[in-house]
């Protein structure tokens, strides 16, 4: 069977199949992207965007089938009941590995609206990827250093303006925005440097989630609190290709967002900011305990 091939052969075969899928998708995708780029008519661009999302969802479906055929992964996915592609969601997830995005795409594709996330503005110049993110309406955000903000305090409002603009655009149709609250993948070195109070997580940054909530307050249906666990290892993309990922746990908890968090001023109201941060810390404490529980369950011997 394919899944029992030696790791180098399995990696080469999986990589080849994923590359073929990408090449099959690229031609029609960038043909529509070009049409969207050269005709700056809003109605036309919206129609192009819908077509491009359809291509992207098909690409994700085929990727998932390829991985199912080649990789010996046991998927343990919990909490998808009641989700709908006709609602607006914020996905708040821990960040373990570079394969997290592929895992989230596989789990949520066509169950909720197409997942987008904020991208650093300078990444728009990455060949092909930058244009693809633009075509799929991923929101781009300019990041400023602390020194630059100190020299020009007016720049502090730029992120909020960008987020509100993206929120207004996504309010027109059901949408999903993803936020990795830790801001980076967890590693032992980062965990130690932060002196994190959590066993398995970095300290969460609440600002991104607060901005998304305030910008989409009129439409946002709920928060999807997602916990990702890889019991055997912290995988990279090579592990994904070569069959070393054996078990993936995805725990989804749908949470109603308190109404006061949809209307507050995170940047300008210190009391609101502290309340919101405390709420995120509570979510993270529960997530840390859940990870410990899921790891314990994964270590238990299988029963017949």
Mean pLDDT of 283-289: 97
Interatomic CA distance for residues 251 and 266, integer angstroms: 28
Biggest distance spanned by C-alpha atoms of the chain? 65
Looking at the chain, the whole-number percentage of residues with pLDDT higher than 70 is 91
pLDDT at 26: 95
Give tens-digit pLDDT for 141-187.
776 555 665 677 666 666 666 666 776 778 778 999 999 999 999 99
pLDDT at 216: 79
The DSSP annotation for 82-99 comes to: T--TTS-EEEEE----TT
Mean pLDDT of 268-283: 94
Place of tokens 């989700």: 83
Reported pTM: 0.90
Give tens-digit pLDDT for 3-37.
778 889 999 999 999 999 999 999 999 999 999 99
Answer whether 118's CB lies under 8 Å from 140's CB. yes
Mean pLDDT of 99-128: 92
pLDDT at 159: 63
Mean pLDDT of 71-76: 96
Q: Please report, for the chain, the start and end positions of each structural domain, with discontinuous segments joined by +.
A: 73-299
pLDDT at 145: 57
Confidence label for 271 from pLDDT (cuts 50, 70 and 90): very high
Give tens-digit pLDDT for 179-216.
999 999 999 999 999 999 999 999 999 988 988 888 77
pLDDT at 198: 97
Cα 240–Cα 106–Cα 291 angle in degrees, nearest 5: 75
Looking at the chain, the whole-number percentage of residues with pLDDT higher than 90 is 70
Confidence label for 221 from pLDDT (cuts 50, 70 and 90): confident
Interatomic CA distance for residues 208 and 210, integer angstroms: 5
Q: At residue 297, does pLDDT exceed 70?
A: yes
From residue 227, how far is each of 72, 120, 180, 294 by CA, in Å?
A: 21, 24, 11, 10
Interatomic CA distance for residues 21 and 6, integer angstroms: 23
pLDDT at 303: 45
Give how far the C-alpha of residue 303 lies from the chain's centroid of Cα atoms, to the nearest Å. 34
pLDDT at 304: 37
Mean pLDDT of 237-249: 94
Counting Cβ atoms within 10 Å, is residue 155 exposed (0-12), middle (13-18) or buried (19+)? middle
Tokens of 221: 């249906």
Class of domain 73-299: alpha beta
Tokens of 294: 């899921």
Give tens-digit pLDDT for 116-150.
988 888 888 888 889 999 999 998 877 655 566 56
């Amino acid at each position: 069977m394919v899944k029992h091939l030696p790791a180098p052969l399995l990696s080469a075969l999986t990589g080849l199949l994923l590359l073929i899928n990408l090449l099959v998708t690229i031609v029609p995708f960038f043909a529509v992207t070009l049409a969207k780029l050269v005709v700056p008519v809003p109605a036309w661009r919206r129609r192009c965007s819908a077509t491009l999302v359809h291509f992207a969802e098909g690409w994700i479906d085929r990727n998932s089938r390829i991985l199912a055929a080649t990789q010996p992964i046991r998927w343990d996915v919990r909490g998808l009941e009641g989700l709908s592609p006709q609602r607006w969601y914020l996905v708040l997830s821990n960040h373990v590995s570079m394969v997290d995005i592929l895992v989230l795409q596989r789990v949520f594709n066509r169950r909720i609206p197409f997942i987008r996330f904020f991208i650093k503005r300078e990444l728009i110049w990455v060949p092909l990827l930058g244009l693809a993110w633009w075509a799929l309406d991923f929101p781009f955000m300019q990041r400023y250093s602390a020194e630059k903000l100190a020299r020009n305090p007016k720049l502090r409002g730029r992120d909020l303006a960008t987020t509100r603009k993206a929120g207004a655009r996504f309010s027109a149709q059901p949408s999903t925005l993803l936020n990795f609250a830790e801001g980076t993948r967890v590693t032992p070195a980062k965990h130690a440097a932060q002196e994190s109070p959590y066993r398995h997580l970095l300290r969460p940054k609440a600002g991104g989630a607060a901005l998304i909530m305030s910008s989409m307050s009129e439409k946002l249906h709920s928060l999807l609190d997602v916990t990702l666990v890889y019991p055997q290892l912290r995988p990279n993309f090579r592990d994904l290709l070569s069959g070393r990922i054996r078990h993936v746990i995805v725990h989804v908890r749908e949470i109603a967002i308190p109404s006061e968090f949809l209307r507050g001023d995170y940047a300008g109201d210190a009391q609101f900011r502290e309340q919101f941060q405390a709420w995120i810390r509570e979510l993270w404490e529960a997530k840390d305990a859940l990870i410990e529980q899921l790891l314990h369950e994964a270590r238990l011997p299988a029963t017949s």
